[in-house]
Amino acid sequence: IVDGEVWGAMTAAAGGAPLPEQLEDRLAEVTELAATAISNSESRAGLARLADEQAALRRMATLVARGVPAEEVFAAVTEAVGQLPGVDAARLARYEPDRTLTAVAAWGRKTPVFPVGGRLALGGNNLSTLVFESGRPARVDSYVGVSGPAGAAGRESGYRSSVGSPIVVERRLWGIVMVASTIEEQLPADTEARLASFTELLATAIANAESRADLARLAEEQAALRRVATLVARGTRPQEVFAAVANEVARLLSVDVANAIRHDSDDMVTLVASAGELIPIGSRWHLDGTTVASIVLETGRPARVDNYAQLPGELAGELREEGIRSAVSTPIIVEGRVWGQIVTASRQEEPLPLDTEERLVSFTELLATAIANTEARTELGRLVDEQAALRRVATLVAEGAPPTKVFETVTREVGILCGADLARMERYDSDDSVVGVASWGSDDAPGLAVGTRFSLEGASIAAMVREASRPVRVASFVDAQGPIAHEAQSLGIRSSVGCPIVVEGRLWGVIAASSKSMTPFPPDTESQIAEFTELVATAVANTEARTELAASRARIVAAADEERRRVVRDLHDGAQQRLVHTILMVAQARQALQPQPELASEFMVEALAQAEAATEELRALAHGLLPEILTHGGLRPAVNSLAMRTPVPVEVAVSVGRHPAAVEATAYFVIAEALTNVAKHAHARQATVTAHVEDGTLQVRVRDDGVGGARLKGSGLLGIADRLAVLDGQLRVESPIGGGTLVAADLPVAG
């Protein structure tokens, strides 16, 4: 009996006479001495073993205190626990998030079946699974009936029994220390307690290593973030910031792929930066299946795929072919909207770490800031450009520029401002068609023909605007029908945006911007174009008003000229003829009455004189209305006649042929009014009148050497100016004090 337990037995035997009765007592004395000897021996062995164990723990503690790499601590601890009584093999393994076990250290009297780096799935009835599920030490005293991959590996190694103790690091189950025996005898009962001493050291070593790794990783991550933040603060181009982020993420997270993508539409994305792949920047593709990018696009939240092996979809299949095993993606949120995302992917067996999403968020926030800053600068620049363009067009409208110039300018400004390849302005006709009134094209895109008429049948911006009377857009002309759609297809146009031009409540026309790019126009394109349509409407309304005013003036002038001609005809054919006839009759009466008394002759003489005076006055009146010589002879003889009647000497140099009656009458009245002012107010010694045609313009000049000081205020010159305006002519008066006067009139006569 050693320490209260039956250690063994002592026996005595004889071949002859029976043994003495006192032998039991004698044996009892001997067994007590044997028990003391055995106890002393076991105590010494226990002390030695305890000393060895404490020495091993001190060595492990020294390694931990020195901060040696965790891999060295793992190997030393595994070898140390392999020296425990009855142990033939020892293993240190880490539990993975996907319920697998990875060997990080192994020791055995023979080559271990389960080498370092090997992985086994948990499950079944085995030591690794028992510790994982319970979080407490466990043992297997017999491998008969043990199941699961870990159990099968134990049987292959010849294990008969095993003991495992959990490694708990900062309250989380990190892994397991396991020892095993290949002999029939079970491992000692105190094996679990002995392993616990080593697991505490392991937990400390792992925690220290993780802290150092976390600190180093944090420092490296902060340095990377500072580098990117510096680029953002400097206003670096977004493309450079995207590339920097992709490279920093790939390096920090040790991933095989780091891409930044931009969302273009509901399922279309564009690659804006890449690290680790040879996909060209600018590549576009549709998202499908259950890739991380698809999940982020749908939910707007970070997403991960830990194993692409079983995921459906063509894109997931392509990723599997590229060897991608797991991926994590985080959205880039700019001012509340999901602008794009950073996608990371790995070809390693292990899924990406659980903190990958959190680490990516810091970079997406910097990207969001860079994008927001760039968009703000772009928006400000675009606003400045838009306001400048609007001012240019408004200036043209205010100056009364010809409509064609306004149309061309607006169309060009809209095309450039919207980043379009083509821009076009069209006017609606009453027969369900449109006519191009202005066109613009970028350097590599020819403009559409001005003056071309198109039917509104089929798909087109013009047809949609006419039907809806509001801004519209066509996302794609593929498979569209109709003459305008066919022209768009032939020019490579993919999408268009158009706005109506409404003039005084009626739909006058449409402005459209078109693009050959797959990228659609921004959402605010319609509002940009609408700003210009209001100016176009004003220009059209002003032009129509001026045209109507000019037509009204022309009708008034034509009616006045016709009235003058009628008065002249009436005077010539009526009163003047009768006065001439009266004069002739009075002359004949005077001749007949010559033998008669003197009194009758005196009355006849007086009557004749009055009739002749009336005739001269009527002739002068008719001449002032519209001289017959102008009507029948043209401007040159009419001006010569005016000069002859002017009391101031007039030199005439009129070298023009016949022109329309309105032009000749206007030029005549300019000269007549100017010569009248010369005679009445100029105190001039002489005057000159010139008239000739140059560059399609009849240029009339009346100059005198009088006192000057004439102003365009009198009713005569103002009336002449109004008459000139009817024919798109201009009047200019130059009359410095003491420098004479120049009256200049220009009338367009081309064609």
Predicted confidence at residue 33, as pLDDT, reads 76
Report CA-CA distances (Å) from 426 to 69, 433, 467.
Answer: 77, 10, 15
The predicted structure's pLDDT at residue 47: 46
Residue with tokens 């039917």: 455
CA distance 455 to 433: 4
Of 218-222, 595-599, 633-637, 703-707, the least confident: 595-599
Cα separations (Å) of 630 from 354, 555, 660, 695? 102, 20, 12, 24
Choose among 367, 369, 379, 352: nearest CA to 272: 367
Q: How far apart are CA 633 and CA 643, in angstroms?
A: 16
The structure tokens listed for 138 are 């466990």
The two three-digit tokens of residue 243, written as one number: 């590339």
Which residue is it, tokens 């071309």?
452
Other beta carbons within 10 Å of 273: 24
Residue 128 half-sphere exposure toward CB, CA atoms < 13 A: 28
pLDDT at 36 over 80: no
Decide: 424 and 407 in contact? Cβ < 8 Å. no
Q: Which residue has the higher pLDDT, 431 or 88?
A: 88
pLDDT of res. 358: 86
Phi, psi values for residue 510, rounded to 5° = -150, 145
Residue 181 has pLDDT above 70, yes or no: yes
Position 714 confidence tier, pLDDT thresholds 50, 70, 90: low
**CA pair distance 522, 287, nearest whole angstrom:** 21
pTM score, whole prediction: 0.42
C-alpha 660/C-alpha 630 separation (Å) is: 12
Q: Indicate if the pLDDT at residue 387 is higher than 80.
A: no
pLDDT, one tens digit per residue, over 284-300 is: 888 776 778 888 888 88
Lowest mean pLDDT among 177-186, 511-520, 559-568, 688-697: 559-568
226 pLDDT exceeds 50? Answer: yes
Looking at residue 377, its pLDDT comes to: 63
Strands 119-121 and 138-140: unpaired
- Token pair of 346, please? 């790995």
- For the ranges 75-84, 720-729, 732-741, the one whose mean pLDDT is highest: 732-741
The mean pLDDT value for 599-605 works out to 61
The predicted pLDDT at position 43 comes to 55
Asked if residue 600 has pLDDT above 70, the reply is: no
Is the per-residue pLDDT at 50 higher than 60?
no
Give the model's pLDDT for residue 213.
60
Averaged pLDDT, 514-531: 83
Rounded to an integer, what distance in angstroms lies between the CA atom of residue 274 and that of residue 256?
11
- Residue 160 in tokens: 């008969």
Scan for tokens 């595994």, then name that residue.
78
Query: Tell me: the pLDDT tens digits for 442-471?
Result: 765 555 667 788 888 888 888 888 888 888
Percentage of the chain beyond pLDDT 70 is: 79
Question: Could you report the per-residue pLDDT of 466-516, keeping only the tens digit for each?
Answer: 888 888 988 888 778 888 888 888 888 888 899 998 888 888 888 888 888
The continuous run of DSSP H or E covering 600 comes out as: helix 598-625
Does position 648 have pLDDT exceeding 90, yes or no?
A: yes
- Band (pLDDT 50/70/90 cuts) for residue 606 is low
What average pLDDT does the segment 400-414 reach? Answer: 83
Q: Which of 531, 491, 480 is nearest to 515 (CA)?
A: 491
Max alpha carbon distance in the chain (Å)? 229
Coil/strand/helix, residue 212: helix
Do 478 and 486 contact (CB within 8 A), yes or no? no
Contacts of 174 (CB under 8 A, 6+ apart): 94, 95, 167, 168, 203, 206
Mean pLDDT score of the chain, rounded to an integer? 80
Residue 463 CB partners (closer than 8 Å, separation 6+): 456, 457, 482, 484
- pLDDT at position 536 is 81
Q: How many Å apart are CA 400 and CA 392, to the nearest integer?
A: 13
Q: Predicted confidence band at 554 (pLDDT cuts at 50, 70, 90)?
A: low
pLDDT at 20 over 60: yes
> DSSP label at 733?
E
Cα 32 to Cα 721: distance, rounded to the nearest angstrom: 150
Residue 310, phi then psi, degrees to nearest 5: -110, 5
Look at residue 305 in the predicted model and tell me its pLDDT: 87
pLDDT value at position 690?
96
Higher pLDDT residue, 28 or 587? 28
Position 712 confidence tier, pLDDT thresholds 50, 70, 90: confident
